[in-house]
Amino acid sequence: MSRSSPGAVRADLEDVFRRDYPLVVGVAARVLGSRDQAEDVAQDVFLSFGRTTVPAGEARGWLSVAAAHTALNLLRSGRRRASREEFSAVAQDAVVSDVADAVVTREERRRVRTALARLPRTQAVALVLRHSGLSYTEVAAALDLSPGSVGTTVRRAESALRKELNRHASSL
């Protein structure tokens, strides 16, 4: 597909948006823990996608990776709206029995996100995509890996995440 003019928006953007918006928001929300921020990420990702020549059949993988990268960049940059997220997390956890449980849960989520941001990029993205429901084949295609290496990459990412969490916990 070639662009008709600089800045032209692809004709299939609306169809791809309708089909893949929930996936993009879900991937970003897994990284950020905030639906509002995930929706902002999705908007940025679809704006970028609208200017690409990525075939529609490859859109799901491209969008998933772009959502993970954009969310990780936001996470790593520290531009997160922490107080808003904390309020949102407490509001969403209405089932939590008391304030202490809510604080522990919120703190644990923050620690996991911080550790995720420290992982090598490919590992972090593979882990997020796999836990967002993409199959090994889809993760492999999205990250240009062999399908056989996805399981190894995800296991290494999980191990690195555990080590990062343990390292951080022991330094407290």
Q: Cβ(93)–Cβ(120) under 8 Å?
A: no
pLDDT of residue 9: 80
How many angstroms from the chain centroid is the CA of residue 169? 24
Mean per-residue pLDDT, 2-11: 62
The yes-or-no verdict on residue 104 having pLDDT over 80 is: no
pLDDT confidence tier of residue 6, bands split at 50, 70 and 90: low
Looking at residue 119, its pLDDT comes to 92
User: Mean pLDDT throughout 150-162?
Assistant: 94
For range 141-147, the mean pLDDT = 91
pLDDT on residue 84: 46
Q: What is the pLDDT of residue 171?
A: 61
pLDDT digits (tens, 9 = 90+) for 111-137: 888 899 999 999 999 999 998 989 999
